[in-house]
Amino acid sequence: MNDILPGEVETWQHLEEQARRIFRAYGFAEIRVPVVEKTELFCRSIGETTDIVEKEMYTFSDKSGNSLTLRPEGTAPVMRSFIQNKLHNRDPIAKLYYMGPMFRYERPQKGRYRQFHQIGAEVVGVDDPKIDAQVLAMLVHFFEEVAIPDVELQINSLGCPECRPAFRNLLIDFLQERLESLCEDCQRRYRTNPLRVLDCKAKGCREATLDAPSMLDHLCGGCTGHFAQVRGHLDDLAIPYAVNPRMVRGLDYYTKTTFEVVTGSLGSQNAVAAGGRYDGLVRELGGPPLSGIGFAMGVERLVLMKGEALVQPPRLELFLAAIGDEAARQAFILMSSLQRRGHRAEMDYEGKSLKSQLRRADKLRACHVLILGEDEIARQAALLKDMDAGTQEEIPLAGLEELLLERLRRL
Number of residues counted as binding ligand ATP (CB under 6 A): 18
Spatial separation of the C-alpha atoms in residues 74 and 24, rounded to whole Å: 19
Could you tell me the smallest distance in angstroms from the CB atom of residue 111 to ligand ATP?
6
Contact range with ligand ATP by CB under 6 A, out of 264-272, 281-289, 305-313, 364-372: 264-272
Could you tell me the smallest distance in angstroms from the CB atom of residue 74 to ligand ATP?
9
Q: Residue 96 — left, alpha, or beta (φ > 0 → left; ψ -120 to 50 → alpha)?
A: beta
Using the rule CB under 6 A, is 116 a contact of ligand ATP? yes
Could you tell me the smallest distance in angstroms from the CB atom of residue 102 to ligand ATP?
7
Measured from the CB atom, is 105 or 174 closer to ligand ATP?
105
Measured from the CB atom, is 73 or 317 closer to ligand ATP?
73
Nearby residues of 41 by Cβ (< 8 Å), 6 or more positions away: 69, 76, 77, 80, 285
Of 104, 231, 368, 407, which lies in the binding site for ligand ATP, with binding defined by CB under 6 A? 104
Task: Work out whether the CA dihedral 171, 176, 182, 183 comes out positive or negative.
Answer: positive
Contact range with ligand ATP by CB under 6 A, out of 78-86, 294-302, 344-352, 387-395: 294-302
Measured from the CB atom, is 215 or 387 closer to ligand ATP?
215
Using the rule CB under 6 A, is 271 a contact of ligand ATP? yes
Show the binding pattern over residues 51-80: x = contacts ligand ATP (CB under 6 A), - = does not: ----------------------x-------
Using the rule CB under 6 A, is 47 a contact of ligand ATP? no
Please give the residues from 167 up to 196 whose contact with ligand ATP meets the rule CB under 6 A: none
Please give the residues from 230 up to 259 whose contact with ligand ATP meets the rule CB under 6 A: 250
Spatial separation of the C-alpha atoms in residues 306 and 11, rounded to whole Å: 8
Measured from the CB atom, is 2 or 169 closer to ligand ATP?
2
Using the rule CB under 6 A, is 81 a contact of ligand ATP? no
Show the binding pattern over residues 13-32: x = contacts ligand ATP (CB under 6 A), - = does not: --------------------
Q: Which residues bind ligand ATP (CB under 6 A)?
A: 73, 104, 106, 111-113, 116, 118, 250, 269, 271-274, 296, 298, 300-301
